[in-house]
């Protein structure tokens, strides 16, 4: 027997849920890095450019 159409919508919801989780995790890491930059007093803390770091690597690994 074939798969029911019931599963089709659930797969989309699950994918959306996972993407939302990854986005939240990356935002948390970015905020944590920015907080560390402010506390450490690094010269990059005042710039609007966000350095690429482990956040992008984690997102690539999980995707």
pLDDT of residue 59: 60
10 Å CB burial of residue 22 (0-12, 13-18, 19+) is middle
**Other Cβ atoms closer than 10 A to 5:** 7
Residue 32 lies in a domain: yes
Residue 45 lies in a domain: no
Overall domain count for the chain: 1
Residue 28 lies in a domain: yes
- Name the residue range of residue 23's domain: 7-40+53-62
CA distances from 6 to 9, 16, 18 (A): 6, 17, 19
Residue 31 lies in a domain: yes
CB within 8 A of 38, min separation 6: which ones?
A: 45
pLDDT tens for residues 21-46? 999 999 999 999 999 888 887 555 45
Residue 2 lies in a domain: no
pLDDT of residue 7: 74
Residue 46 lies in a domain: no
């Amino acid at each position: 027997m074939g798969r029911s159409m019931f599963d089709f919508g659930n797969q989309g919801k699950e994918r959306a849920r996972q993407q939302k989780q990854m986005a939240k995790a990356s935002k948390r890491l970015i905020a944590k890095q920015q907080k560390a930059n402010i506390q450490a007093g690094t010269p990059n803390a005042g710039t609007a450019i966000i350095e690429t770091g482990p956040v992008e690597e984690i997102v690539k690994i999980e995707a």
